[in-house]
Amino acid sequence: MGNSVKKGKVVIANENQVKSLRLYKAAIGDQDMRKPEIRSYKIDEKEEQEFGNNKEKSFLETKIQQYICSSEVVIFSKTTCENCSKVKDHFDEMDISYFVVELDQIKNGQSLEKELYKYTMETALPNVFVKEKLIGDYTDVIQLSKDGLFQKLLESKNDKPKEAGYEYDLIVIGGGSGGLAASKEAAQYGKKVLVLDYVPPSPLGTTWGLGGTCVNVGCIPKKLMHQAALLRQALKDSRTYGWQFDDVKHSWDIMTESIQNYIGSLNWNYRVSLMENKVKYENGYGEFVEPHKIKSTNSRGKVKFFTAEKFLIATGERPRYLGIPGDKEYCITSDDLFSLPYCPGKTLVVGASYVALECAGFLAGLGLDVTVMVRSILLRGFDQQMAEKIGEHMDEHGVKFIKHFVPTKIEQIEAGSPGKLKVTSQSTAGAEITEEYNTVLLAIGRDACTRTIGLDIPGVKINEKTGKIPVNDEEQTNIPYIYAIGDVLEDKLELTPVAIQAGRLLARRLYGSSTLKCDYINVPTTVFTPLEYGACGLSEENAISKYGEDNIEVYHSYFWPLEWTVPARDNNKCYAKVICNIKDNERVVGFHLLAPNAGEITQGFAVAIKCGVNKEQLDNTIGIHPVCAEIFTTLSVTKRSGGNIMQAGC
């Protein structure tokens, strides 16, 4: 072989192959692929099993395509082949990362080798591909290196999608918090961007408009219903402040209509803003049909196809079901609650994480009879002392808790709006109970929408158990031209501002000159239970396991908001706690607050924590009187001391 790069040296067997090859060539083109971070990696066990079970030619073809696309440098090799070892040693010496497919280490590697031959016409291994082009074998690589052409080839860039035959620079699957932010940002750099958004109806038929979970069935309607519930408390308090009124009633219909009208305006604004930013929007369900090609299917079943150089998966999550008789027929989830056309009545909320407790909190706050069924603990993953205090407060305000039970059967006793349901549940110790409710709301977690979007076609890896997508610190999946952000990510926080930040920064890195990565540390958050819980940084449990109990100091105090003193309610139920790392000048590593408007307060302190605030600086800050947040400037009692933390006066 000569010393030039060989392009498209392929044996064509039949017309179909010509077509698929042409599509493939058009699709892969000359991509701007990043150097993988891992020096070299090999096929894992799962893929090995796939080979064991699948000898279909199309499967092998797809696999070869995936491997060739999977890294800038790809080596098809055998562990027993001398030249293969030499080429790997050569790349190691040159400090070049590569993806190696060891054909003698995978089941049916022989079948793969035969299929590979049709691509390369090379009988001898290794077969080395660089930027998806066949380079040749060991001697070709050495020759290119000697001529200084190998490094040039690696450094060469060509990111013109049209020349490569793509319609778009970027296709974003999912028009929620993350997808919309990323698409608009990418378009700011003059990139041609398509967003696909589609909402498969819930089992009860609920669906909604553009904007994703947060706007339609998450943060926005949740916070507004929380506000509706807080107003009831404010009405109660207002009597001691002199307000007089009779006969106050709440209308579920008016509340949901007002909230849904507002959401409708947000859906419209999103569409307008996509148009203004010249982002193409397609109301279709997206799935990969080829490594660089997406099929979009709309609600009438009409199908369109689109190609792109890069892809962003931002498909979010949908509520999980129990998998017991009657759950999908009769239960609702948060996807249905916020637009429910009738007041849910006596409600059982199943689950004990933040979605469950927030919904239970505002339903009870609206005056409904609410029970929460808890399998184990409240708010898994959050600071458990705070979680317990939230539970106590809800309990004192009328929410019932059934602990250590799970539902086993849901039966309809009476149809209606709402109807009547009989719920059979079993305790983790074995006892069975039954109870009637008008509505059963499941809030038992959410599943990532990744299993039906054809991710196996380009070869994007997901965690098989959770469906979540692992990415590197640049939100890049194992397939270099495919990225993922938001709730689909493995081990990342599931919050709207996190998805938005990750999406924006990704677009800036891909298309601008930015190198800034999303910082997932010290992200503030708030649980909108009746008594709001704001947190930033580590829980006490995590601080102890990270630094050791002796190395942290926990300052804490109860307090009584001035506004609650006149109506004489909830004395010393609000609570503030900061966790400091003693060995780092008492730097604040955990911030926790149970208070009205905890979200507003926590946001400000999150800035301080990001700047590295320590206890002395909190103490030296003059408070604003009389507000709840001033408690953080006067914390003096440590948990270790066991001192009195009840607030006696102002």
What positions carry a catalytic annotation? 625
CA-to-CA dists, residue 637 to 251, 568, 590, 602, 607, angstroms: 46, 25, 16, 21, 24
Choice between 207 and 565, CB closer to ligand FAD: 207
Choice between 280 and 375, CB closer to ligand NA7: 375
Q: Is 318 in the site for ligand NA7 (CB under 6 A)?
A: no
Choice between 55 and 280, CB closer to ligand FAD: 280
Q: Which of 136, 284, 326, 351 binds ligand NA7 (CB under 6 A)?
A: 351
Candidates 25-33, 139-147, 371-379, 477-485; binding stretch for ligand NA7 (CB under 6 A): 371-379
The 10 Å CB-count burial string (b at 16+, else e) for 170-186 is bbbbbbbbbbbbbbbbb
Query: Taken in order 206, 208, 212, 218, is the CA torsion positive or negative?
Result: negative
Q: How far apart are CA 480 and CA 477, in angstroms?
A: 6
Structural tokens at position 256 = 């949901």
Question: What is the widest separation between alpha-carbon atoms in the chain?
Answer: 94
Which one-letter DSSP state was computed for residue 300? T
Residue 606, classed as helix, strand or coil, is helix
CA-to-CA dists, residue 276 to 60, 197, 272, 617, angstroms: 44, 18, 6, 45
Cβ atoms 453, 462 nearer than 8 A? no
Q: Which of 194, 355, 366, 506 binds ligand FAD (CB under 6 A)?
A: 355
Give least dist CB 448 to ligand FAD, A.
9
Neighbouring C-beta atoms of residue 430, cutoff 10 Å: 6
Q: Which of 354, 559, 591, 632 binds ligand NA7 (CB under 6 A)?
A: 354
The partner in contact with residue 350, picked from ligand FAD, ligand NA7, none with C-beta cut-offs of 5 to 8 angstroms by kind, is ligand NA7
Q: Which residue blocks in 424-513 are alpha helix, DSSP H?
A: 496-511
Q: How far apart are CA 466 and CA 148, in angstroms?
A: 46
Rg (CA), the chain: 29
Q: Which of 80, 110, 240, 376 binds ligand NA7 (CB under 6 A)?
A: 376
Q: Is 377 in the site for ligand NA7 (CB under 6 A)?
A: yes
Q: Is 309 in the site for ligand NA7 (CB under 6 A)?
A: no
Give least dist CB 453 to ligand FAD, A.
5
Choice between 127 and 477, CB closer to ligand FAD: 477
Structural tokens at position 209 = 């408009």
Q: Which of 141, 199, 215, 355 binds ligand NA7 (CB under 6 A)?
A: 355
Subset of residues 469 to 528 that bind ligand NA7, contact rule: CB under 6 A: 487, 494
Give least dist CB 521 to ligand NA7, A.
17
Q: Is the peptide bond before 626 cis (omega within 30 degrees of 0)?
A: yes
Which one-letter DSSP state was computed for residue 550? G
Which one-letter DSSP state was computed for residue 332? E
The partner in contact with residue 202, picked from ligand NA7, ligand FAD, none with C-beta cut-offs of 5 to 8 angstroms by kind, is none
Give least dist CB 393 to ligand NA7, A.
18
**Which residues make Cβ contacts (< 8 Å) with residue 538, sequence separation at least 6?**
546, 579, 589, 590
Choice between 350 and 455, CB closer to ligand NA7: 350
Which residues face 1 on adjacent strands? none
Number of chain positions touching ligand NA7 (CB under 6 A): 19
Residue 315 CA to chain centroid, in angstroms? 9
The partner in contact with residue 173, picked from ligand NA7, ligand FAD, none with C-beta cut-offs of 5 to 8 angstroms by kind, is ligand FAD
Q: Is 336 in the site for ligand FAD (CB under 6 A)?
A: no
Q: Which of 172, 322, 386, 507 binds ligand NA7 (CB under 6 A)?
A: 322
Candidates 198-206, 239-247, 440-448, 472-480; binding stretch for ligand NA7 (CB under 6 A): 440-448
89: exposed, middle or buried (C-beta count within 10 Å: 0-12, 13-18, 19+)? exposed
Q: Is 462 in the site for ligand FAD (CB under 6 A)?
A: no
Q: Which residue blocks in 70-211 are alpha helix, DSSP H?
A: 82-94, 109-120, 138-146, 149-155, 161-164, 177-188
Q: Is 43 in the site for ligand NA7 (CB under 6 A)?
A: no
Which residues face 102 on adjacent strands? 77
Q: Is 532 in the site for ligand FAD (CB under 6 A)?
A: no
Q: How far apart are CA 500 and CA 567, in angstroms?
A: 41
Q: Is 178 in the site for ligand FAD (CB under 6 A)?
A: yes
Subset of residues 471 to 500 that bind ligand FAD, contact rule: CB under 6 A: 486-487, 494-497, 499
Residue 648 has, within 13 A of its CA and on its CB side, a CA count of: 1
Subset of residues 267 to 306 that bind ligand FAD, contact rule: CB under 6 A: 285-287
Choice between 337 and 631, CB closer to ligand NA7: 337
Residue 280 CA to chain centroid, in angstroms? 23
Q: How far apart are CA 449 and CA 469, in angstroms?
A: 10
The partner in contact with residue 197, picked from ligand FAD, ligand NA7, none with C-beta cut-offs of 5 to 8 angstroms by kind, is ligand FAD
Q: Which of 406, 441, 485, 580 binds ligand NA7 (CB under 6 A)?
A: 406
Q: Which of 368, 443, 453, 507 binds ligand NA7 (CB under 6 A)?
A: 443
Q: Is 353 in the site for ligand NA7 (CB under 6 A)?
A: yes
Tell me which residues touch ligand NA7 (CB under 6 A).
322, 350-356, 375-377, 380, 406, 443-446, 487, 494
Tell me which residues touch ligand FAD (CB under 6 A).
173-179, 196-199, 212-214, 218-219, 222, 285-287, 314-316, 334, 355, 449, 453, 486-487, 494-497, 499
